[in-house]
Structure 1
């Protein structure tokens, strides 16, 4: 077995610790007021197209570049400042950040470094009016902005257009404009789903430009999420609703872990998990495979979240989870990966490491590593493709490696040298992929092994004569200078002149 170290560190934040979530280890970071955050009551988290993090709070919005904060708040009598300090939702395009607040929408422009107010076309009055009412959610799809409001229904702004219009809702054939959109998300086909308070689950009829009711068994809910398995999840009163789009079936989870108000939902596709933010019980993780729930909060682990009142979850493009809490600022969670990769023999496949017993290593080049084994020869590992070219001793092939016990491997300008237990030294030719064996002789051509018994090569050099040390259970021959070899047998030390020795093929 071989352990390969890959020195990688998680991105640092102001404070960090290590915790377990289920059976997995996580690195947990913390950001709060003391680090520059506008307020520790964080209601929304967003990562923009430029890689900057935005945190909406009870007292303005913070922009974070990984090192420093820039905070924005409402400034009295300044129409170019944030319109309201109670931020609810954040979304963005390439050059703008759309911020939903308790007092409407503020759009931040990167180029001007200013905020402006948006107007919408009121369907009842046919007038353009400011969006100065509560905004619950803002999301974008292909640069089209969708705005869920409290009382004015769903607003829509097409890409590169200033006009914002209302989307009508039809309930049992009756037209409604003044409804409350609590949450929105798009499924994998691009269809918009919304949860409307007092109405239930609705979807967008794009051709008709209207919302229609799909499922009305549960009418009190908040957050909504569409997963890749064609499910629509909704945090409802007293539990969690799963509605399947394809077969139109549903399941209501009322497990004890989710008996708290659900404020946000997030999928981790790589783990097949649903993360559930609760106001009072931290994060609850749902496992699709086992259909079970597990807790992650401020009391269940040695290292924990800063608060059990979770308001928002955001999964960034580097698989980090940013958590907004209502009392503890921001937590950042990422899997704590080991710096080591295990390379071992796999009995189920043919192309594999020949043995888990490793004696020697030598880097051939940036993509290849020689691995000497204890009894299975040598293997050249292609690190990029994760493939192995194995070389073993073959008594019928004079060009094979001299022995399967490879104790040392060294590369020099002549090629790659292999020292073995019992087979002497051989040189590998990368062009022919053949090994050339060498015998060790003294001046009168008598082999060392005939004098001292069975010789074992234990170490070889990358310059001068190949042999640095030979040993058996009682004798060691070692080069101590460029011209002198020392041989130690038991307690006796013998000095041999290097000129009296040679290496012959």
Structure 2
């Protein structure tokens, strides 16, 4: 008795649930469901006749058409077409049907009767019809759903002339079983399906179940009316069959659905609604096992007691007949049309519904949801009112005040309230008369004490006495031009009793203290903390903080305005908002903000700034919403109106997306060229998503990867992140960008990891990994390095031997140079100054002192001491040309003091030459000057020596020119008489220059020119010393 009562109670509860669910769905019938996405040839489909669709285990959707096969990843289609002469391509382009087996192999049946099998992971193609053993089945397989797989992995294929083929892919064997051989007697086969590991055959008069040994294990004769499912006039008839989650069987027959109840062990007919009795229909099953029945104009679900429950009406644009369909793992219904492409419908309710307009936004709200009688609406100003004029306010006493917002003058104020399902029009009267009639109210607000205020089009504060119904109009807060006013009040809030905050549609934000008549005006500016826009559409007082206003703007995003600091914080698409135009801002009972935009609606967390976006793919009637089309019900429900309809929802009943999408690699480019499998020059032997590792040479290290999260209901919300381990130190968060690009990857081993979110922004648990090896160039490989090291060692050893030999030779030469240099230095030191010259100088000083010519003696002695000091200081191997010239000048001064006017010496130096940077051997010029004086000037009883310093390119020229007797006469004089001074300066200079040239990087040279007149007589000697410098 208890058991019977328990069953009775369960039955009643189930019936009650169905009734309640039916009422809810009937209520939803007010709005027709629209596809949130449509795919056509403009999106990459090869053709618009969709002959078959299937989703593989990864999540890709495969689409068969009459012009090839396509793989869809939510962003783009990858096409597979027949190419003449290429056996790696499809056998044909006209696809009749598709079947996906348990191994992710896609069976492609063509109109020609040929069959291909595509491995959807690797994208390798097997031409079954061209196989010498299996090709016999070509043209013999029934069109439509004619393939099934048993638990052993064998495939059963219904033929067009009765019987089945059984294909064993492991043994590559094919066997044919006629209906008689299977023991079916005269029962012609019309359908096939897998059932609990066995194969179910739908025949004319019974269901037969056959195991993998081709033995009949169960027969279920039909017991329903007209039990004939085979039609000899329509052998192609598609008797599609599915198994429900409780094991019952559904057979799709023409104009009826046949059920075998697995619990009651009996057959029954499920007839479509009478209006669809002659219509074709389709059945499908989602991942949870829910059976869906699709008619051309309506979608039904099958309840647990096998009743058709209306779910949603299909919009008129969906009425094109569906040729194929399936439900993917995220709950999306894919409808493949006859020339209309693919339409996607979300079967999983988010709690949002779209309602089409019957009359207008405000009238539909009042009638359908606030249950206001038509008579009340017709009597009011709301009847036929332009919906953009609709304004409302819920007051603290439970009334909902409604006004008409225009700049029109009126004798009767358009302000009423809603209460208890009726519209009440108070007997308003003005406190005084006006020369000009007042205008309507643009915005309503309530003070802390419950006073009802309004603001009209021309910024007049208006007080409404809700007891005496008196209306008091106060002076405008600013003077404006009534004819050209563009301020247009859009919203009004009141702090306490006197502090008014006024948002305008074109002129920013006003603060106005009604008692003190204090006014502040806030406008947009390109400054931190300023308003981002002057076009403010809606305003809301923060539920927790009296200092914060939330403002929706046109193009400026969502604004958080701090009344104390008078600064703004702005939230835009950069912060996750779907759009920067915010038409309305409302708060739910938990304090979350809800906003309407041009791209759907979104919720916003006031504390954590978290954003949840919703669009037409979530059930909204459209994505573009309207200004002033918003309303909040007393029970907390929220409504927004858009261009194609409106929505009413309870924020606490909005569901979260919990789907965990797979993420896949859908393409790869190497050095900016697409290289995925199937492209002409691909280095890969299979599709990139199926590979575990790729190896690339060092010069193919610019890589770009395309990725896709395989969830199709709102792909624009999906976000991506990726990391190349060994290259990146952390995740790269790419937002909605589904491309990962790396340039100049060094040789080495890496692992690419990619991940994506679902539409709610939750990161999926599924990752895609790909190992990448960038191979080094051959000269960086181990074998090359070892060989090179060995070779280099030998070369180094030989080079060391040669170097030792060379160094020894260099050391010997250097020793010789040092010995020679030492000798030359000693000779130069001895020859630096003619001893006779020094003795003469000392005698000259002595004579000047004895003659009491102290001043001349001091000058002579000072010059002599400076010369001696220079000689001692210039002991290093190289000195500056400036120091050398100074020494020469001191020497010539002393000689001039000795010989008086008989000797003249001039120094001419180019001012552009940096004498301090030019390095020369010490006493390199003085011997030539000395030689010019003693052997050229003095024998000629006087003359002039000119020293000229010039520069040509990278060489310094030092020219010593005299007008003496010349070298020939000087040599003759020396031969006649023995000179008291034997000058060795010239020879020493030449030897020192030779040594300098031997050890220096730069060259030097001496040129001696004998000057003559026109008759050939000697007129002097010119010495040219050239020093080359580093450029």
Q: TM-score, normalised by structure 1?
A: 0.52
User: Closer, same or farther in 2 for the Cα pair 1:237/1:96, shift >3 Å?
Assistant: closer
**Deviation above 6 Å: which 4+ runs of structure 1?**
21-27
Matched residues in 2 for 1:242 and 1:53: separation? 30
The 5-angstrom pairing of residues 326-405 of structure 1 reads 326-334=338-346, 335-338=348-351
Rounded to whole Å, the distance in 2 between the matches of 1:219 and 1:26 is: 34
Match of 1:313 among 325, 328, 335: 325
Structure 2 residue 310 is matched with structure 1 residue 286: no
Task: Tell whether 2:244 aligns with 1:227.
Answer: yes
Looking at secondary structure, tell me which structure has more strand per residue.
1
- 1:88 match: 97
Aligned to 2:138: 131
| Structure 2: distance between partners of 1:89 and 1:193 | 19
Shift of 1:78: 4.6
| Equivalent-residue separation in structure 1 for 2:340 and 2:239 (angstroms) | 22
- Go from structure 1 to structure 2 and tell me whether the alpha carbon gap of 1:36 and 1:307 turns closer, same or farther (over 3 Å shift): farther
Q: What is the CA–CA distance in structure 2 between the aligned matches of 1:218 and 1:61, rounded to whole Å?
A: 36
Tell me which residue corresponds to 2:200.
193
**Residue 166 (structure 1) aligned with residue 176 (structure 2):** yes
- The answer for unaligned runs of 5 or more in structure 1 is 1-18, 340-457, 460-478, 481-505
Q: Do the aligned partners of 1:191 and 1:203 also contact (CA within 8 Å) in 2? A: yes
Tell me the secondary structure at the aligned position of residue 39 of structure 1: coil
Distance 1:337 1:174, change over 3 A: closer
Residues 170 and 211, structure 1, Cα contact 8 Å, conserved in 2:
no
User: Does structure 1 retain, via aligned residues, the 8 Å contact 2:251–2:257?
Assistant: yes
The answer on whether the counterparts of 1:205 and 1:212 sit within 8 Å (CA) in structure 2 is: no
Q: Which residue of 1 aligns with 2:284?
A: 266
Do the aligned partners of 1:282 and 1:309 also contact (CA within 8 Å) in 2?
Answer: no
Residues 107 and 281 of structure 1, relative CA distance in 2, 3 Å threshold: same
State how far apart, in whole Å, the 2-side matches of 1:304 and 1:155 are: 42
Q: 1:34 is paired with a residue of what secondary structure? A: helix
Alignment CA distance shift 1:75-1:53 (3 Å): same
Q: Which of 146, 155, 168 is residue 156 of structure 2 equivalent to?
A: 146
Q: Structure 1 residues 136 and 153, CA, compared in 2 at 3 Å: closer, same or farther? A: farther
**Structure 1's 235 and 286: CA in aligned 2 closer, same or farther, altered over 3 A?**
same
Helix, strand or coil: the match of 1:87? strand
Higher-RCO chain (CA-CA 8 Å, sequence separation at least 6):
1
User: Which residue does the alignment assign to 2:116?
Assistant: 106
Q: Please, which of 68, 71, 95 is the counterpart of residue 79 of structure 2?
A: 71
The separation in 2 between residues aligned to 1:149 and 1:283, in whole angstroms, is: 33
Structure-1 separation of matches of 2:30 and 2:154: 38
* 2:220 equivalent among 201, 206, 214: 214
Seen in structure 2, the aligned counterparts of structure 1 residues 292 and 246 have a Cα distance that, compared at 3 Å, is: closer
Q: Relative to 1, partners in 2 of residues 1:309 and 1:111: Cα closer, same or farther, differing over 3 Å?
A: closer
User: Is 1:323 the counterpart of 2:335 in the alignment?
Assistant: yes
Contact persistence 2:108–2:116 (CA under 8 A): yes
Check whether the contact 2:28–2:311 (CA below 8 A) recurs between aligned residues. no
Q: Secondary structure at the match of 2:318?
A: coil
Answer with 1 or 2: which has the greater Rg.
2
Residue matched to 1:10: none
Once residues 182 and 82 of structure 1 are traced to their aligned partners in structure 2, the CA distance between those partners, rounded to angstroms, is 28
Q: State the secondary structure of the residue aligned to 1:99.
A: strand
CA distance in 1, matches of 2:323, 2:30: 21
Root mean square deviation of aligned Cα: 4.3
Q: In structure 2, what is the Cα distance between the partners aligned to 1:174 and 1:121?
A: 30
**What whole-Å deviation, never above 9, does each CA across 1:144-180 have from its counterpart, x for those lacking one?**
433334335333334644223334434995668xx97
Q: Cα distance 1:33–1:27, how it changes in 2: closer, same or farther (>3 A)?
A: closer
- CA distance, structure 2, for counterparts of residue 36 and residue 127 of structure 1: 34
1:322-372 residue CA offsets vs partner (Å, 9 max, x unmatched): 222223211222234159xxxxxxxxxxxxxxxxxxxxxxxxxxxxxxxxx
CA deviation string 1:267-305 (max 9, x = no partner): 3475x7422245x55644433458234375xxx45x455
Offset at residue 94 of structure 1 (A): 4.2
Q: Deviations along 1:107-130, whole A, 9 cap, x unmatched?
A: 1245774533226999xxx99724
2:42 aligned counterpart, secondary structure: helix
When you count helix as a share of all residues, which structure comes out higher?
Answer: 2
Q: Distance in 2 between matches of 1:264 and 1:149?
A: 23
Partner of 1:483: none
Larger deviation, residues 54-63 vs 138-147? 138-147
Secondary structure of the corresponding residue to residue 218 of structure 1: coil
Q: TM-score, normalised by structure 2?
A: 0.27
Structure 1 equivalent of residue 775 of structure 2: none
Q: Which runs of 5+ in 2 are unaligned?
A: 1-26, 231-237, 353-543, 546-563, 566-1031
Query: Shift of the alpha carbon at 1:67?
Result: 1.0
